[in-house]
Amino acid sequence: MPILISGDGRPFTITSYLRRRSRIATRLPPVPLGRESAALRARVDRRTALGSGVLASAIGLVVLFGGSTLALPARHAPTTA
C-alpha cells in the first residue's frame, strides 16, 4: 500500500487515478493524446491536487474518529492493580 500512495506503482497509483478522474471531469480524454497547453496541464494539476487534499482529509477524519472511538472504551475500563 505505501508504494501505491507514494507514486512508485505508476499506473496503479492514487495520483494517476485522481488525474484520470479530473481529466474526465473536465471533458478531456483520460490520457493525453498528444501535446497539451501549459494552461490545460496546470488546470488538471490543480484539480488533481485538490482531489488529493480531499482524499487525505477524508482518511485523516476516519483515522481521527476511528482512533477516538477505539480509545474511549479503553480509557474508562477498570484497572486491576
Whether 63 is covered by a domain: the verdict is yes
Structural domain boundaries, residue 53: 2-75
Contact 70, 36 (CB under 8 A): no
Number of domains in the chain: 1
Whether 11 is covered by a domain: the verdict is yes
Whether 81 is covered by a domain: the verdict is no
pLDDT level of residue 2 (50, 70, 90 thresholds): low
Give the tens place of pLDDT for each residue, 44-79.
999 999 999 999 999 999 999 999 888 888 777 676
Whether 80 is covered by a domain: the verdict is no
Whether 65 is covered by a domain: the verdict is yes
pLDDT at residue 13, as a whole number: 80
26's enclosing H/E stretch is none
- Tell me what the mean pLDDT of segment 1-12 comes to: 57
